[in-house]
Structure 1
Amino acid sequence: MMSDLAGMTWLNPPPHHALSDGTLHVRTGKETDFWRETFYGFRRDNGHFLYRPVAGDFSAEVTVKGDYKVLYDQAGLMMRLSETHWIKAGIEYTDGLAYFSVVVTNDRSDWSLVAVPADRDGLRIRLTRHAEAIRIQYRDVADGHWKPVRLAYFPTSQSVDVGVMCCSPQREGFEASFSDFVAGPPISRELHD
């Protein structure tokens, strides 16, 4: 397992970020996002993404917290092959609530939302790659179990960039923190406990 955020690379560095005791604190830039075409008709590729390349199959996890206040404030995990092929998964603020949000982009973006319980301690998120399948989960704080959210197609490749992302499409200054980031061997392919 690799867990050193300090050794990772920024795509679109935020105006403010600090690493302290293994936790990354970020304040977003103005009107940042990752999105391609669908429904809204625009392309945005200016969100903040701190990553490292990861080869083959893997599982990546992080605990994310944020000061979600404005529509589409978001923070979570991302994996990226290119500007046209990526997945982001995390908490996103919409309609006055924080949801678990997943965007899968294969040339064009799609978006899915799942209501999750609010937790001041943040939410643990996991992305797992098994060849062309990406498994997206979060851990329920109340019972400690991983909840399945999505099983998505993603093109196979020798490696992809994996790390943490945050965006604030409607403002600047959204504050998020990321802790206990790990990327390593994939969990079992068994989907059901």
Structure 2
Amino acid sequence: MVGAPCVPIVRLEGVLTDFTWLNEPRNWNVENGVLTLKTEANTDFWRTTFYGFRRHSGHARLQAVSGDFTASVVVRGDYRELYDQAGLMLIIDETHWLKTGIEFTDGLMHFSVVVTNGTSDWSVIPLAQAQPNAEVHIRLTRHEAALRVQFHLGDGPWQMARLCPFSGEDARIGVMACSPEREGFTAQFEGFCLGAPISRDLHAS
């Protein structure tokens, strides 16, 4: 079980060697605790469902995790093109992973969750009131074989976006960004934390 205090993302600058890139972008840096990256062209994580293709080319900065935990981060992005996306990722291997965060579709920012267990699914919550480059807080918790995804905007309360099964003890957790339809999408991540899981009470205030 992870029980250490939260890990600030500034340590991704290379001080903490446990973090590694999956598909490292050419353009990224960490300054004042904020990780900023620009995506490469046609990057994505997806497997088969509906579209028929398999892509594992998105950018993710990850570290090992096992047992129960809570991870959180604050995300901003210049969402403009279809499927621009940024958030958290939990991955076991190329066929078993979860990504969650903001995804731009139908002209709006949406809170998105994709769970892949051999094939991918996709659920979205439209954020009609969200302004471009708005800060979005994302939280992912594992309780045994279940994952709980939450988010909030500004000073609003945490909202649950997904509760789903996710088997497998050892995995990697971190931040991700993709831009299936372009290159140069800019995403920023601040305050990444990894620590002991929050309470199992789904309806706590």
TM range (shorter): over 0.9
- Structure 1, unaligned stretches of length 5 or more? none
Fraction of identical pairs, as percent: 51
Deviation per residue, 1:138-173 (Å, 9 max, x gap): 023243x1101000111131x210000000000100
Gaps of 5+ in 2: 1-5
Which residue does 1:78 correspond to in 2? 89
Q: Which one of the candidate residues 120, 126, 133 is aligned to 1:109?
A: 120
Counterparts of 1:37 and 1:121 in 2: how far apart (Å)?
31
Name whichever structure is richer in strand by fraction.
1
2:173 matches 1:162: yes
Aligned residues: 191
Deviant stretches of 4+, over 6 Å: none
Q: TM-score, normalised by structure 1?
A: 0.96
Q: Which residue of 2 aligns with 1:37?
A: 48
| Aligned-residue CA RMSD (Å) | 1.1
CA displacement 1:79-105 (0-9 Å, x = unmatched): 000000000000000011110000000
How many Å separate the matches in 2 of 1:52 and 1:136?
19
Q: Which residue of 2 aligns with 1:175?
A: 186
Tell me what 1:67 maps to. 78
Deviation at 1:55, TM superposition (A): 1.8
Aligned positions of 1:3-152 closer than 5 A: 3=8, 4-6=11-13, 7=16, 8-116=19-127, 117-119=129-131, 120-143=133-156, 145-152=157-164
